[in-house]
Amino acid sequence: MPQGAAVQACELSLRSGHGWVYRDVGLEAGPGGLTAVAGQAGSGRTSLLLTLAGRMRPTGGTLTVAGRTGPRAIRRVAALGLVDGVNDLEKALTVREHVRERSRGLFWNAGSARHAAAAMERAGLGLSPEDRTLIRDLGREQRVRLGIALALLDGPGLLVLDNVDHGLPADRRDALWATLEELAGQGLTVIASCTESPAARTVRLPAAETGDDGTAAHAVRAGESGERER
């Protein structure tokens, strides 16, 4: 099982043509840790997660993941769970088709099946890699867990996922957070975004400021809960 990746972000910022997406974010996450990024829609939390996973390049600050600083190098150790609008599951495909498409190697064999089954078990999915259920017939929690399982197939040191608490009742949110805690307990570094966080280690992003036209102008500085929160 790959070792978790240490993540260090200092004054990490992203500015677009419309203003700040997020600004001066500080974050430290060690192997075996679960960190939540909490913020309302428009706070820049999805863009921050994509930056931490090497899918977006920041315009300011520094980011190191497992000793790597460039987005391409970070992508080698970071995997995305489900991020709405970025890596949505194809509703017309089955669980089986998604698993086989994501699995490493050119040929599906017994080893591939065991690897996939282990990933799905770690994700708490409760489905077989051979399951032929269409994605459109899965509930929100099942889709999130499948996204986790697919990410685990890559053997990442860092797992990043978005909107953990979206569309789920309280008991299912708690169950999903418990799974993320278990994954962190196995040594994986996990960073997940949400609206409200139950995690002990939370980075809170303020809501975006709005301009006169009602559009987001920028997100003001964010800090770690209990340390730099403003």
187: DSSP letter: T
Quick check: helix, strand or coil at residue 171? Answer: helix
Considering only CA atoms, which of 11, 1, 25, 7 is closest in space to residue 66? 7
In this predicted model, what pLDDT tens digit does every residue of 11-70 receive, in sequence order?
999 998 888 999 999 999 989 899 999 888 878 999 999 999 999 999 999 999 999 999
Looking at CATH, the fold of the domain delimited by 7-224 is given as Rossmann fold (3.40.50)
* Whole-number pLDDT of residue 209: 55
